[in-house]
Amino acid sequence: MTWLITGGAGYIGTHVARACDANNIPNIILDDLSSGHREFVRDGATFIEGSILDRQLLVETMREHPVVGVIHIAGYKYAGESVRRPLHTYEQNVTGTQTLLSAMAETGVEKIVFSSSAAVYGTPRVETVTEETAKAPESPYGESKLIGEWLLHDQGIATGLAHTSLRYFNVVGTSYDDVVDTSPHNLFPLIGEALRAGRTPKIFGNDYNTPDGTCVRDYIHVSDLADSHIAAARALQGGTALRPAYNLGSGDGASVGEIMRATRRMTGVAFEPEVSPRRPGDPDRIVASGEAAARDLGWRMRFTLDEMISSDWNARLARG
């Protein structure tokens, strides 16, 4: 009764894998280590180094282990960079998901929890996004995630695939000193690594249509996110029908400027951020309601923004 976690050696995937362990859910990890880290994988875990583009490897893995479902986190997750690398983004996120679904169909694996994204909404014309808000992605990354949801939907009609997609908003913080977000494009690692190196953190654009001119985002703690994957996997395994997609959001938001001020407060490091040009593909504001996920998956926000920042900072210091 094992779950395969693709991308399970990454920042988010590691939290999901460890949440599986804590909840006695057998799991195996597949990751090509393009952005994941072998040292994040716990001792004794079944780890397979490989790509979701390798169909034969996927088939062999699913046949060798009693896989009942997949938590699909692997992918190319950089909205801004996807504008520069659209073909790579589509290969990893669309072709990769199609290949995974094909391997699942061949081996009779009929359940999947998919890592989707707030990027499917683009710049919403509403204050708070719900699952019914119009989809208008503004980057190849957002488009690729929406196509991934379509693939699951169509495969569900064709084969009865049980599925749900979890639309992540800005995932931050950590619950482990040995695991941090190492993305070269995400806000928290950009701030934390700049401060550790004695550099000034940057704000990418201060001319957005927001109160202080900087992007407003919905920040959620990675461990809360991981718990929702556990709830979704258990529901699908138990035969519970879930919505096609859930927003994992707080219903509130913080601007990049607010994050900078909170970082000064929580780290004790005095700095004034440098302002750089906008990154392509970044919307002004996106904040979501998590009501549907709270109802069906027990979704809740257990961490304050200050706690998210301090957990990230302390883990970076612990890593040396």
* CATH number assigned to the domain comprising residue 178: 3.90.25.10
Is residue 120, in this structure, part of any structural domain at all? yes
Active-site pick, 76, 141, 168, 208: 141
Give the 3-state DSSP-derived string for 170-183, with helices as H, strands as E and coil as C: EEECCCCCCCCCCC
CA 166 to chain centre: 9
Can you list the alpha helix ranges (DSSP code H) found in 160-255? 187-196, 222-237
Query: Alpha carbon of 130 to those of 18, 72, 135, 242, 249: distances in Å?
Result: 29, 22, 11, 16, 9
Quote helix, strand, coil % in the chain, to nearest 5: 45, 20, 40
Instruction: Name the domain count of the chain.
Output: 2
- 203 and 255 Cβ atoms separated by less than 8 Å: no
Q: What is the pLDDT of residue 45?
A: 96
Tell me if 295 is assigned to some domain: no
152 with 41, same domain: the answer is yes
Answer whether residue 293 is part of any domain: no
* Residues 203 and 127 placed together within one structural domain of the fold: no
Asked if residues 124 and 133 have their Cβ atoms less than 8 Å apart, the reply is: yes
User: Based on the domain organization, do 178 and 235 belong to the same domain?
Assistant: no
Domain check: are 55 and 144 in the same one? yes
Helices (H) and strands (E) in the chain, counts: 11, 14
Give the residue numbers spanning the domain of 226: 2-169+219-248
The answer to whether residues 106 and 178 belong to one domain is no
- Our answer to whether residue 176 is catalytic in this structure is no
Task: Identify the pLDDT of residue 152.
Answer: 98
205 plus 234 within the same structural domain:
no
Alpha-carbon gap, residue 279 to 114, rounded angstroms:
26
Residue 196 forms part of a structural domain: yes
What is the reported pLDDT for 123?
85
Q: What is the pLDDT along the chain (320 residues), one digit of tens a residue?
A: 899 999 999 999 999 999 999 999 999 999 999 999 999 999 999 999 999 999 999 999 999 999 999 999 999 998 889 999 999 999 999 999 999 999 999 999 999 999 999 999 998 889 899 999 999 999 999 999 999 999 999 999 999 999 999 999 999 999 999 999 999 889 999 999 999 999 999 999 999 989 999 999 999 999 999 999 999 999 999 999 999 999 999 998 999 999 999 999 999 999 999 999 987 767 788 899 999 999 999 999 999 999 999 999 999 999 87
Residues 206, 266, single domain; the answer is yes
CATH of residue 164's domain is 3.40.50.720
pLDDT at 283: 77
How would you class 197 by CB atoms within 10 Å of its CB: exposed for 0-12, middle for 13-18, buried for 19 or more?
exposed
Residue 24 sits in the same domain as residue 131: yes
The answer on 162 and 15 residing in a single domain is yes
103 and 131 housed in the same domain: yes
Question: Does the residue 296 lie in any domain?
Answer: no
